[in-house]
Amino acid sequence: MSDAMSYDLFINGTWRAGSDGASLPPINPATEKTIGQVASASAADLDKALASAERSRVAWSSKPATERGALLISAARILEEKVASAAKDLSAEQGKTIAEAKGEYARAVETLEWNGTHGEELSAPIPVDSNRMIVPEPLGVCLYALGTTPPCSSLASSPLRWRRAAR
């Protein structure tokens, strides 16, 4: 969040303010200073995001594992190019050292690369015995509702895991 930037919600491929216009001021825990504004999602925003995620899940799971893997590797390359600026933002948001933030992004890049290069193996049926096998299937849409940013690698290892939180 370099230079007190403002961040909107990313829903259905576009950035937008929350439907109720509310925002939250993230605070750097090391300095206790506000570092920007982040749009606050309403229940309606979550419903739109979940519907979009479900549409994306259907499209994503219809792609062959090699194509999904190539996209994950492309995402790793993009993230790798942005590590320096992203690490500054993560440091400001969570009070981490720049080195620690860079390490977290390096782990996210590594996770994207690993999942990208092992997609076929990860989606292949697993024989249990001569009569049974485990057939991996997508989990579905799950929602991470967090008060803070999760480690980048946890998001990289589970793309499109969203689940509607109970009201």
Give the model confidence (pLDDT) of 49-66 as tens digits: 999 999 988 888 888 889
Q: What is the pLDDT of residues 90-144, one digit of tens each?
A: 888 888 899 999 999 999 999 999 999 998 888 888 899 999 998 887 777 776 6
Any idea which fold 5-156 has? Answer: Aldehyde Dehydrogenase; Chain A, domain 1 (3.40.605)
Q: 13: phi > 0 → left, psi -120 to 50 → alpha, else beta; which?
A: left
User: Dihedrals φ, ψ of 134, to 5°?
Assistant: -95, 130
Query: What 3-state class would DSSP assign to 23?
Result: strand
Query: What 3-state class would DSSP assign to 125?
Result: coil
* Nearest by Cα to 75 from 1, 140, 153, 6: 153
Whether 151 has a pLDDT exceeding 60, the answer reads no
Rounded CA-CA distance 2/119 in Å is 35
* Nearest by Cα to 112 from 60, 68, 61, 142: 68
* Nearest by Cα to 93 from 162, 146, 31, 143: 31
Q: Which sequence spans correspond to the domains of the chain?
A: 5-156
Confidence of residue 161 (pLDDT cuts 50, 70, 90): very low
Average pLDDT, the chain: 83
